[in-house]
Amino acid sequence: MAEIDDATLDYLLARAGLAATDAQKTGLKAAYAHVAAMADRVRKPRGRVAEPALTYGFGEDDLG
Amino acid sequence: MSAIPTIAEAAKLIAARKLSPVELTRACLDRVRRLDRALHAFVLVTEERALSDARAAEAAIMAGQPAGPLCGIPIGLKDIVDTKDIATTCQSRILRDNVPDADAACAMKLARAGTVLIGKTTTHEFADGGPSFDLPWPPARNPWNTAHFTAGSSSGTGAGVAAGLILGGIGTDTGGSIRGPAALCGIAGIKPTYGLVSRAGVAPAAFTLDHIGPMAWTAEDCALMLQALAGHDPHDPASASWPVPDYTAQLGAGIKGMRIGVIHHFHEVDHKVSEGTQRGIDAAVTTLRELGAAVSEVMLSPLAEWHACGTLISLTERAAAYEEWARTRLGDFSARVQQRLLLGAMVSGVDYVQAVRRRRELREELRAAMAKLDAVLTAVQPNEAPKIDQVPEWDVGHKPSFTMPFNVAGYPAISVCSGFGEGGLPVAIQLVGKPFQEATVLRIADAFEKATAFRVGRPVLASELATAQ
């Protein structure tokens, strides 16, 4: 299971502009493994050109 | 009134002038007064508005000009739905004094359909986290056993419908927030196709996963409500331009020859459900076969794949929507919502885009799997309702959700009661259709409900009150 060290956790929180309590940081460190596992799961060998869902498809409304 | 009617039953009686909307509304308000101290289904009861709506509906009926089958029907609106001149708190300290100056699109449509607004129903804060005991309003309780959870986030609508405080209501669903409470409260709730019902005026949870839909005692009632709710809205950038069919036209036509795929591995392998839930699913499959459906097995990517995709998108979009308040007023959120917002900071921009790329692949997989099917079936919830004080915190990926796959895909999905499990608590099945095929989903759900006896009994709490009147 992936772990996150204190310095990295503090960096991510600071980058997001969020101030967590010590108790929340403890909870976050435990939950981080699940987030990291999910981030691994969505990475597949799909190459460079596979598009995301919800890319724009311009229609007639855009032409006016 | 001694019995709690369905919307369809009440509509027939009202149209025939055998039931007064005012009388029906007073009966609902009376049940609210007696039961809501135990259920906490409402954040706010709008009694004056309800009686005014009911009188207007009655006048329309007497003038021979009813607005439609919802005329005079008491409903509730989840408290993340904007209501003009009526407080809309999102069950948050941050919006405690918020009074919108306009109705959300769904509120406006239901008002135009002649419904009676009984009040604003309890939600998890901003439709996230929960149950929370650190907010100014208590969480809703399950009418089948008030020591137990309703699921969320449309918890008050679920509890209120099950207990007969309202005949129907609005829920919203980002990862299962209509279908979860519908399942644990033993009612019906449909998450329509993404874009079918306008989100305008409803607080966001995660923009690309958010859906608005009806919750009611039966699938037929959901069809009646969806009829009033569906349709294009230029004020919702994701609103679909799709013709709205008659959702009740196929009800009662049976399901002989329809093709239903069961995603066995979701609930038997990927996230094994309780014995009671499994019994409900097995019995439902038998019933559907007996009704003439051709049932087959469907294989999809493991449930955890869908859950990961949806959860990463959800955490990130929520963090974006609430970033300003998270930075400046984090401590004003409930502890559970704070946890979700903090978790959003753990997801990188690249993680998010990879999730959205995965979403396209998963949706294509479901499209291909359903090419020769009318619907697929799986669980809604893994268990009967847990005790309300035993819902874990920091819970994002421990056990994958059965409902999130169809938010990821945007496909319509309904929860209907499939019996009762441990402790006499309801269990449910989930039926999923192709995009914009809500009529098919409702037809199957309605046939199932009418072939089973699970719509006969209300929670004891509500039944006792009805008998005493």
Q: Could you report the per-residue pLDDT of A5-50, keeping only the tens digit for each?
A: 999 999 999 999 999 999 999 999 999 999 999 999 999 999 999 9
Length of chain A: 64
Cα separation, B98 vs B136, in Å, equals 14
Cα separation, B37 vs B146, in Å, equals 11
Q: Give residue for tokens 């039944």.
A: B463
Residue B463 pLDDT > 60: no
The 3-state DSSP class for residue B77 equals strand
Length of chain B: 469
CB neighbour class for B223 (10 Å; exposed up to 12, middle 13-18, buried from 19): buried
> Which candidate in A35, A48, A55 is best for mutational testing of the B interface (most B CBs within 10 A)?
A35
Starting at the edge strand that comes first in sequence, how are the strands of the sheet with B211-216 ordered? Answer: B42-45, B116-121, B74-78, B168-173, B211-216, B188-191, B413-420, B426-433, B375-379, B259-262, B294-297
**B404 Cβ contact list (under 8 Å, min separation 6):** B175, B176, B306, B307, B310, B311
Contacts of B308 in chain A (CB under 8 A): 37-39, 41-42
The model's confidence at residue B67, banded by pLDDT at 50, 70 and 90, is confident
- Residue B176: its pLDDT value, please? 98
Contacts of A52 in chain B (CB under 8 A): 353, 356-357, 359-360
State whether residue B354 sits within 8 Å of chain A by CB.
Answer: yes
Give the mean pLDDT of B350-361: 98
Helix A22-41 × helix A6-16 angle, to 10°? 90
CA B210 to chain centre: 12
Contact A34 B397 (CB under 8 A): yes
Per-residue buried b or exposed e for B79-115, using 16+ beta carbons within 10 Å of the residue's own CB: bbbbbeebbbbbbbbbbeeeebeebbbbbbbbbebbb
The model's confidence at residue B462, banded by pLDDT at 50, 70 and 90, is low
Contact A28 B343 (CB under 8 A): yes
Q: Which residues does residue B294 pair with via DSSP β-bridges, in sequence order? A: B259
The model's confidence at residue B467, banded by pLDDT at 50, 70 and 90, is low
Show the tokens assigned to B177: 């927030």
State whether residue B363 sits within 8 Å of chain A by CB.
Answer: yes
Are the CB atoms for B189 and B182 separated by under 8 Å?
yes
State whether residue B209 sits within 8 Å of chain A by CB.
Answer: no
**B315 Cβ contact list (under 8 Å, min separation 6):** A35, B340, B343, B344, B346, B347, B396
Residue A61 pLDDT > 90: no
Contact A50 B361 (CB under 8 A): yes
Contact A50 B356 (CB under 8 A): no
Known catalytic residue at B132 = no
Looking at the complex, report in whole angstroms how far the Cα of residue A64 sits from the nearest Cα belonging to chain B: 16
First-to-last CA distance in chain A? Answer: 53
**B413 Cβ contact list (under 8 Å, min separation 6):** B179, B190, B191, B403, B406, B430, B431, B432, B433, B441
**B192 Cβ contact list (under 8 Å, min separation 6):** B211, B212, B213, B226, B229, B230, B412, B438
Dihedral-angle region of residue B224 (phi above 0 means left; psi in -120 to 50 means alpha; beta otherwise)? alpha
Cα separation, B156 vs B461, in Å, equals 15
CB neighbour class for B302 (10 Å; exposed up to 12, middle 13-18, buried from 19): middle
Cα separation, B411 vs B229, in Å, equals 17
The model's confidence at residue B200, banded by pLDDT at 50, 70 and 90, is very high
The model's confidence at residue B461, banded by pLDDT at 50, 70 and 90, is confident
Using CB atoms, pick whichever of B339, B341, B398 lies closest to residue A27. B339
State whether residue A42 sits within 8 Å of chain B by CB.
Answer: yes
Closest among B13, B34, B33 to B24, alpha carbons compared: B13
Using CB atoms, pick whichever of B311, B353, B356 lies closest to residue A38. B311
Residue tagged active-site, from B92, B132, B177, B334: B177
Amino acid at B107: A
State whether residue A48 sits within 8 Å of chain B by CB.
Answer: no
Give the mean pLDDT of B46-51: 98
Using CB atoms, pick whichever of A17, A39, A50 lies closest to residue B327. A17
Residue B452 pLDDT > 80: yes
Looking at the complex, report in whole angstroms how far the Cα of residue B124 sits from the nearest Cα belonging to chain A: 20
> Distances in Å between the alpha carbon of B368 and those of B45, B362, B364?
46, 10, 6
Q: Whole-structure pTM over 0.95, yes or no?
A: yes
Contacts of B323 in chain A (CB under 8 A): 16-17
Residue tagged active-site, from B20, B78, B109, B434: B78
Show the tokens assigned to B101: 């100056």
Contacts of A42 in chain B (CB under 8 A): 308-309, 312, 351, 354-355, 357-358
Cα-flanking dihedrals φ and ψ of residue B433, to 5°? -110, 180
Using CB atoms, pick whichever of A13, A42, A53 lies closest to residue B312. A42
Residue B60 pLDDT > 90: yes
Contact B346 A32 (CB under 8 A): yes
Q: Which residues does residue B296 pair with via DSSP β-bridges, in sequence order? A: B261
H helices of B292-393, in order, are 303-321, 323-329, 335-344, 349-369
The model's confidence at residue B448, banded by pLDDT at 50, 70 and 90, is very high
Q: Give residue for tokens 């009662």.
A: B252
Q: What is the DSSP letter of B391?
A: P
Q: What is the pLDDT of residues B140-155, one digit of tens each?
A: 999 999 999 999 999 9
- Residue B464: its pLDDT value, please? 58
Amino acid at B206: A
Contact B343 A31 (CB under 8 A): yes
State whether residue B301 sits within 8 Å of chain A by CB.
Answer: no
Cβ-Cβ pairs closer than 8 A, A with B, add up to 104
Closest among B71, B39, B216, B217 to B137, alpha carbons compared: B39
CB neighbour class for B51 (10 Å; exposed up to 12, middle 13-18, buried from 19): middle
Using CB atoms, pick whichever of B305, B342, B363 lies closest to residue A18. B342
Contacts of B397 in chain A (CB under 8 A): 31, 34-35, 37-38
Using CB atoms, pick whichever of A15, A27, A52 lies closest to residue B360. A52
Closest among B294, B394, B410, B384 to B346, alpha carbons compared: B394
Known catalytic residue at B274 = no
Is the previous residue joined to B153 through a cis bond, with omega within 30 degrees of 0?
yes
